[in-house]
Amino acid sequence: MISLPSTVVDFMNIIRTAGFDVYVVGGAVRNLLLKKEVTNWDFTTNATPEKIQELFSDNFYHNTYGTVTVKSGSNLFEITPFRKESLYTDNRHPEKIEWAKTLQEDLARRDFTINSMAFDGKTITDIFEGKKHISEKQIVTVGNPDTRFQEDALRLMRGIRFASQLGFLIAEDTRKAMTRNSGLIKNISWERIRDELLKIIGSDFPSEGILFLKSTGILKYILPELDDCFAIPQKSPNRHHIYDVGTHLIMSLKSCPSSDPITRLASLLHDVGKVGTFHKDEKTQMITFYNHEVVGTIQAKQIADRLRLSNDQKTKFIRLIEFHQFTVIEDQTDKSIRRFIKDVGKEYIQDMLDLRTADRIGSGATPTSWRLDLFKKRIIEVQKVPFTVKELTIDGTDVMNTLKIKPSKQVGDILDALFEKVVNGEMKNERETLLNALKNISK
């Protein structure tokens, strides 16, 4: 038995009191049945958008799909009139929107059975066996799967995203139709593809999601660099790898301790440069991938642009791939560790360490080693020393006030000199220590 929050019940009662039918639909019903949190409340009704607007003063309506967004307290409720199937000509959007007269018509146009249920607060309307498929943990299209994917090719990735988020399998007929129609994904914008891909990668079962993309043929259209990796072997004499490059990357994604989608994306793609740098010595049978991180960095930039990553996402993604081959040895100097931190960026250090953990496990090794544990401790210790003048415990105002001088190049030179002394270990980065040092500087 499922129940609705009082705010949802109150919202629906306003619509019913006005003489209209209203139902919770889609993912909200699915999540209620799965006892998962509902973050997006969607409703359908036989009321027109104009009637809905009359009922709620705090609303927004500016789209071609009839959806009115109503603000109710801290909630945003989206309510759409019954719609029915119509012609799709671009594999994404219906040519025109047609209102339906019945709930059944509205449910028949939806993508997957687990999203095609409606709940009025007492009874679930489930004409396509969504509850059954939830219990079977199956992703099944509503009606003919070829028709569903040809209407909207983004459903190819949405179905895989639901499978990876929920830990479901994809029904055989649905999966075969995905494979037959995989090329239609080329008609979808990269922004939409990016959003679905990052949701798959950020899900509870990301590696399974990527393997679904691979097995259905979709992967070669969205990440051809990764698809090519499955043909590249790594196992050879005196090497630690036990998988081909593609499988290694899948295992790295599966083993990544970070929940951040960009860190996971970097874990999935950190070795794509190995395709272009593969070399096998015919005498020794040794396989090498010299400078694969250089080639991989170039490809990472291309992938980031293709997926329309934001500037911050792009910077992080590229940085992680560019420097993922960092060296870990027991006698590294503080200087080399500081260089590593500067190259990667302080804000991405933990992400890089998570990628290294993923890389190790994905290679068949243990999650860490005594050298890596030592390296992590050294990183913490080294960061106690400032990396820039701005991290000193005094600033230009302190210099001017102590030495009674005006703003000038001399102020910067003095701070630089003190910074060098701190970095070299000649004095501590403590305010009192640095102020005393200032007093001993001659004007």
Helix, strand, coil percentages (3-state) for the chain, rounded to 5, are 55, 10, 40
Strand 41-45 to strand 75-81: parallel, antiparallel, or no bridges (unpaired)?
A: parallel
Cα dihedral across residues 330, 333, 334, 338: positive or negative = negative
Cβ-based neighbour number of residue 16 at 10 Å: 13
Structure tokens at 71: 């603000």
Domains of the chain: 1-128 (3.30.460.10), 137-222 (1.10.110.30), 228-375 (no CATH), 392-439 (no CATH)
Distance CA 39, CA 35 (A): 12
* Residue 156 phi, psi (nearest 5): -55, -45
3-state secondary structure of 380: helix
Helices (H), 181-332: 190-201, 206-215, 219-222, 224-229, 245-255, 261-269, 274-277, 292-306, 311-322
Residue position matching structure tokens 């499955």: 230
Q: How many residues does the chain have?
A: 443
Vertex 193 angle, CA 188 and 196, to 5°:
135
Specify the long-range contacts of residues 201-205, CB closer than 8 Å, at least 24 apart.
201/253, 201/261, 201/264, 201/265, 201/268, 202/259, 202/260, 202/261, 202/264, 203/161, 203/164, 203/165, 204/164, 204/165, 204/167, 205/163, 205/164, 205/165, 205/167
Cα dihedral across residues 32, 38, 42, 43: positive or negative = positive
- Tell me the one-letter amino acid at 111: D
CB 394 within 8 A of CB 427: no
pTM higher than 0.85: yes
pLDDT in tens, the chain (443 residues): 799 999 999 999 999 999 999 999 999 999 999 999 999 999 999 999 999 999 999 999 877 778 999 998 888 999 999 988 666 666 766 667 788 899 999 999 999 999 999 999 999 999 999 999 999 999 999 999 999 999 999 999 999 999 999 999 999 999 999 999 999 999 999 999 999 999 999 999 999 999 999 999 999 999 999 999 999 999 888 777 789 999 999 999 999 999 999 999 999 999 999 999 999 999 999 999 999 999 999 999 999 999 999 999 999 999 999 999 999 998 889 889 999 999 999 999 999 999 999 999 999 999 999 999 999 999 999 988 888 899 899 999 999 999 989 999 999 999 999 999 888 888 899 999 999 999 888 65
Distance CA 380, CA 91 (A): 52
